[in-house]
Structure 1
Amino acid sequence: MNQAIWTPSAARVAETNLTDFMKKIGKSDYAALHAWSVDDIEGFWEAIWDYCGIVGERGDTVLRDGEKMPGATFFPHARLNYAENLLQEKGAGDALVFRAEAQVERRVSWDELRADVSRLQQWFKSLGIKPGDRIAAMMPNMPETIVAMLAATSMGAVWSSCSPDFGEKGVLDRFSQIEPALFVTVDGYWYNGKRIDISEKVSAVCKALPSVRNVLIADFLGGGSALAESLAAARTFDDVLQSFAPHPVEFTRLPFNHPLYILFSSGTTGIPKCIVHCAGGVLLQHAKEHVLHLDIKPGDRVYHFTTCGWMMWNWIVSTLARRITLLLYDGSPFYPDGNVQFDFAQAEKMTYFGTSAKFLDAARKAGIEPIKTHDLSHLRCISSTGSPLATESFHYVYQSIKNDIHLSSMSGGTDLVACLVAGVPVLPVHIGEIQGAALGMAVDVFDQDAKPVRGEKGELVCTKPFPSMPLYFWNDPKSEKYHAAYFDRFENIWCHGDFAERTPHDGIIIHGRSDATLNPGGVRIGTAEIYNQVEQMPEVLEALCVGQEWDHDVRVVLFARLAEGVTLDDALEKRIREVIRKGASPRHVPAKIIAVADIPRTKSGKITELAVREIIHGRAVKNSEALANPGALDLYRHLPQLQD
Structure 2
Amino acid sequence: MTDSSQLLWEPAEDQISNAAMTRFRERATSTHGVALHDYPSLHKWSVEQPEAFWNLIWDFCNVTGERRGDVLRSESEMQDCRFFPESYLNFAENLLRFDDDQLAIVSRLENGRRKTLTYRELRHQVGAFAAFLSSKGVGEGDRVAAFMPNVAETIVGMLATTSVGAIWSSCSPDFGVNGVFDRFGQIEPVVLIACDGYFYNGKTIDSGPVVGEVCARVASIKHVVQVPYIGLPVLDVDATVVTWDEVTRSLQEPEFLRLPFNHPLYIMYSSGTTGVPKCIVHGAGGTLLQHLKEHQLHVNLNRSDTLFYFTTCGWMMWNWLVSGLASGSTLVLYDGSPFHPGDTSMMDMIDEEAITVFGTSAKYISALQKTSAVPKTSHKLTSLRTILSTGSPLSNESFRYVYDSVKSSVCLSSISGGTDIISCFTLGNPVLPVREGELQCLGLGMDVAFFDDDGETLEEGKGELVCRTPFPSMPIGFWRDEDGRKFHGAYFDRFPNTWAHGDYGELTSSGGVIIHGRSDAVLNPGGVRIGTAEIYRQVEKLPQVVDCLCIGQDWQDDVRVVLFVVLQSEIDLDEELTNTIKSTIRSETTPRHVPRFVIQVPDIPRTISGKIVELAVRNVVHGLPVKNTDALANPEALAFFRDQPLLQMD
TM interval, shorter chain, is: 0.7 to 0.9
Cα separation, 2, equivalents of 1:123 and 1:379: 39
- State the partner residue of 1:168: 177
Q: Once the 2 structures are TM-superposed, how far is the Cα of residue 232 of structure 1 from its aligned partner?
A: 3.0
Cα separation, 1, equivalents of 2:346 and 2:368: 11
Cα separation, 2, equivalents of 1:302 and 1:213: 35
1:380 aligns to 2:420 (yes or no): no
The letter of the residue matching 1:275 is I
1:336 aligns to 2:383 (yes or no): no
1:226 aligns to 2:234 (yes or no): yes
- State the partner residue of 2:26: 23
- State the partner residue of 2:597: none
1:306-385 maps to which residues of 2 (within 5 A)?
A: 306-385=311-390
Structure 2 counterpart SS, 1:359 = helix
Cα separation, 1, equivalents of 2:230 and 2:456: 56
1:586 aligns to 2:633 (yes or no): yes
Q: Once the 2 structures are TM-superposed, how far is the Cα of residue 230 of structure 1 from its aligned partner?
A: 5.2
Q: Once the 2 structures are TM-superposed, how far is the Cα of residue 635 of structure 1 from its aligned partner?
A: 8.3
Q: 2:78 aligns with which of 58, 69, 84?
A: 69
Q: Once the 2 structures are TM-superposed, how far is the Cα of residue 183 of structure 1 from its aligned partner?
A: 0.9
1:159 aligns to 2:168 (yes or no): yes
Structure 2 portions without partners, runs of 5+: 30-35, 524-530, 534-560, 567-584, 586-610
Cα separation, 1, equivalents of 2:21 and 2:297: 5
1:31-67 deviation per Cα after TM superposition (whole angstroms, max 9, x unaligned) = 0000000000000000000000111011131011166
Q: Once the 2 structures are TM-superposed, how far is the Cα of residue 345 of structure 1 from its aligned partner?
A: 0.7
- State the partner residue of 1:569: none
Identity rate, percent:
47
Structure 1 counterpart SS, 2:457 = coil
The letter of the residue matching 1:199 is G
1:475-490 maps to which residues of 2 (within 5 A)?
A: 475-490=480-495
Q: 1:342 to 1:200 in 2, by over 3 A?
A: same
Question: Are 2:414 and 2:440, in contact at CA under 8 Å, matched by a contact in 1?
Answer: yes
Cα separation, 1, equivalents of 2:48 and 2:343: 45
1:107-126 maps to which residues of 2 (within 5 A)?
A: 107-126=116-135
1:293-347 deviation per Cα after TM superposition (whole angstroms, max 9, x unaligned) = 0000112110000001100001110000001110000000111122111111101
Q: 2:9 aligns with which of 6, 9, 18?
A: 6
1:474 aligns to 2:479 (yes or no): yes
1:100 aligns to 2:109 (yes or no): yes
Question: Are 2:146 and 2:193, in contact at CA under 8 Å, matched by a contact in 1?
Answer: yes
Question: Are 1:17 and 1:291, in contact at CA under 8 Å, matched by a contact in 2?
Answer: yes
- State the partner residue of 1:389: 394
Cα separation, 1, equivalents of 2:401 and 2:634: 25
Question: Are 2:164 and 2:256, in contact at CA under 8 Å, matched by a contact in 1?
Answer: yes
Q: 1:516 to 1:131 in 2, by over 3 A?
A: farther
Q: 1:459 aligns with which of 456, 460, 464?
A: 464
Cα separation, 2, equivalents of 1:194 and 1:399: 34
The letter of the residue matching 1:226 is V
Cα separation, 2, equivalents of 1:596 and 1:463: 43
Q: 1:4 to 1:501 in 2, by over 3 A?
A: same
1:483-518 deviation per Cα after TM superposition (whole angstroms, max 9, x unaligned) = 011000000000000111111122111000012599
Cα separation, 2, equivalents of 1:456 and 1:638: 34
Question: Are 1:558 and 1:590, in contact at CA under 8 Å, matched by a contact in 2?
Answer: no
1:145-224 maps to which residues of 2 (within 5 A)?
A: 145-223=154-232
1:199-598 maps to which residues of 2 (within 5 A)?
A: 199-223=208-232, 225-227=233-235, 231-242=238-249, 245-515=250-520, 554=612, 557=617, 583-590=630-637, 593-596=640-643
Question: Are 1:520 and 1:554, in contact at CA under 8 Å, matched by a contact in 2?
Answer: no
The letter of the residue matching 1:197 is D
The letter of the residue matching 2:637 is P
1:181-202 deviation per Cα after TM superposition (whole angstroms, max 9, x unaligned) = 1111110000001111111111
Question: Are 1:558 and 1:592, in contact at CA under 8 Å, matched by a contact in 2?
Answer: no
Cα separation, 2, equivalents of 1:322 and 1:480: 37
Q: 1:558 to 1:506 in 2, by over 3 A?
A: closer
The letter of the residue matching 1:186 is C
The letter of the residue matching 2:90 is N
Q: Once the 2 structures are TM-superposed, how far is the Cα of residue 369 of structure 1 from its aligned partner?
A: 1.3
Question: Are 2:128 and 2:253, in contact at CA under 8 Å, matched by a contact in 1?
Answer: no
Structure 2 counterpart SS, 1:329 = strand
1:392-413 deviation per Cα after TM superposition (whole angstroms, max 9, x unaligned) = 0100111111111111111000
Structure 1 counterpart SS, 2:482 = coil
Structure 1 counterpart SS, 2:248 = helix
1:534-585 deviation per Cα after TM superposition (whole angstroms, max 9, x unaligned) = xxxxxxxxxxxx996768995653765999xxxxxxxxxxxx99x998x545
1:49 aligns to 2:58 (yes or no): yes
Cα separation, 2, equivalents of 1:174 and 1:254: 25
Cα separation, 1, equivalents of 2:562 and 2:198: 29
Cα separation, 1, equivalents of 2:133 and 2:612: 42
Structure 1 counterpart SS, 2:641 = strand
Question: Are 1:191 and 1:332, in contact at CA under 8 Å, matched by a contact in 2?
Answer: yes
Cα separation, 2, equivalents of 1:406 and 1:290: 14
TM-score, normalized by length of structure 2? 0.82
Cα separation, 2, equivalents of 1:122 and 1:517: 50
TM-score, normalized by length of structure 1? 0.83
Q: 1:37 to 1:126 in 2, by over 3 A?
A: same
Structure 2 counterpart SS, 1:56 = coil
Cα separation, 1, equivalents of 2:246 and 2:649: 60
Cα separation, 2, equivalents of 1:18 and 1:232: 49
Question: Are 2:271 and 2:631, in contact at CA under 8 Å, matched by a contact in 1?
Answer: no
Q: 1:24 to 1:66 in 2, by over 3 A?
A: farther
Question: Are 2:7 and 2:435, in contact at CA under 8 Å, matched by a contact in 1?
Answer: yes
1:377-425 deviation per Cα after TM superposition (whole angstroms, max 9, x unaligned) = 2111100000000000100111111111111111000000000011111
- State the partner residue of 2:87: 78
Q: Once the 2 structures are TM-superposed, how far is the Cα of residue 427 of structure 1 from its aligned partner?
A: 0.8
Q: Once the 2 structures are TM-superposed, how far is the Cα of residue 226 of structure 1 from its aligned partner?
A: 2.5
1:422-464 deviation per Cα after TM superposition (whole angstroms, max 9, x unaligned) = 1111111111111111000000000001111133211000001
Question: Are 1:559 and 1:593, in contact at CA under 8 Å, matched by a contact in 2?
Answer: no
- State the partner residue of 1:141: 150
Q: 1:169 to 1:7 in 2, by over 3 A?
A: same
Q: Once the 2 structures are TM-superposed, how far is the Cα of residue 72 of structure 1 from its aligned partner?
A: 0.8
Question: Are 1:498 and 1:512, in contact at CA under 8 Å, matched by a contact in 2?
Answer: yes
Cα separation, 2, equivalents of 1:241 and 1:560: 49
Q: 1:460 to 1:106 in 2, by over 3 A?
A: same
Question: Are 1:560 and 1:593, in contact at CA under 8 Å, matched by a contact in 2?
Answer: no
1:208-261 deviation per Cα after TM superposition (whole angstroms, max 9, x unaligned) = 0001111111101011x431x55530111012222xx22221000000010000
Question: Are 2:389 and 2:413, in contact at CA under 8 Å, matched by a contact in 1?
Answer: yes
Q: 1:232 to 1:64 in 2, by over 3 A?
A: closer
Structure 2 counterpart SS, 1:466 = coil
- State the partner residue of 1:570: none
- State the partner residue of 1:628: none
Cα separation, 2, equivalents of 1:454 and 1:255: 39
